[in-house]
Amino acid sequence: MKITYHGHSILSIVMKDGQKLLFDPFITGNSLTDLKADEVTTDWILVTHGHSDHIGDMVPIAKRNDATVISIVEVCSFAEKNGVEKTHGMNIGGKYDFHFGRVKMVHAQHSSGYEVDGQMVYMGEPAGFIIQAEGKTIYHAGDTSNFGDMALFGNAFDIDVAFLPIGDNFTMGPNEAASAAKRLKAKQVVPIHYNTFPVIKQDPEAFVKLLPENVGKVLAVGETLEL
C-alpha cells in the first residue's frame, strides 16, 4: 500500500488493488494541503471526529465519488442528512471487515462537535482508527491527548506505522506524543496535526529526535510512504 500525507491530519491510502481511502479530508481552508477538494478521488472516507478541520469536505467528496463514509454513528448520521448515500457507522471498540481490510475504532481523548446555523451540534465520541490490510497495521490516532490505554493498542497490534498529533493546545504536544509512541511500540511514527494554525506551530524534526533512532519520520505534504 501507498500512504500519502496531505497536511494537517489528512492521509490517503492506495491499496494494491487500486482501492482508495481518505482520512479527515480538511481541504477547503487548509493552506498546507496539496489537494483540491473538487479533484480528489476516493472509494472510502474515514473521519475520526466531528470537528470542522477533520470533517472538512467529507460531504461533497463523498457525493461526487459515490464514496462510503466510515465514522462514529453520529458523524455518519450527519453525512446522511446532508445527502451522502453510503455510510458505515461504527462505535468505540468495534471492528468491521471491509473490502480493503479490517477497521478497528478505538478511543481518543478529545471532543467532537460541528457548528450548524450558529449552533454547536454533538457529533459523537472522537475516535482513532487501526487499519489492518495487506499484512500491515496502520494507526491514525485522530485528535487526542496522551492516555495510558495506548499500551493496550501496542500490546494487541503489531503496528507498522502510527500517525500521531503533535500540535499541542488542542491535542497532545511533542513530549506527550513521544511518550505515547513508546507504549504503542510502532515500527514508525509520523507526526500530524501541526503548523496548520499558529496555535499548533511545532517543529516535527524536533519531535522525531525524541523517539528512538529510525522510528520517527517526518512526511512532507504530498510525500508517500510505501509499506
Q: Characterize 50-84 residue by residue with b for buried, 16 or more Cβ atoms within 10 angstroms of its Cβ, and e for exposed.
A: bbebbbbbbbbbbeebebbbbbbebbbebbeeeeb
DSSP 195: S
Question: What pLDDT score was predicted for residue 95?
Answer: 98
Which amino acid is located at 176 in the chain?
Answer: E
Question: What pLDDT score was predicted for residue 148?
Answer: 96
Question: What pLDDT score was predicted for residue 171?
Answer: 98
Question: What pLDDT score was predicted for residue 1?
Answer: 97
- CATH number of the structural domain 2-226: 3.60.15.10
197: β partners: none
State pTM to two decimals: 0.98
Strands (E), 75-194: 87-90, 95-97, 102-107, 113-116, 119-122, 127-133, 136-140, 161-165, 188-192
Which residues, 6+ apart, have CB-to-CB distance to 192 below 8 Å? 5, 8, 9, 11, 163, 164, 165, 166
Domain ranges of the chain: 2-226
Question: What pLDDT score was predicted for residue 60?
Answer: 98
Closest to 12 measured CA to CA, from 39, 32, 41: 41
Question: What pLDDT score was predicted for residue 199?
Answer: 98
- Dump pLDDT digits (tens) for 137-175: 999 999 999 999 999 999 999 999 999 999 999 999 999
Give the chain's residues under pLDDT 50: none
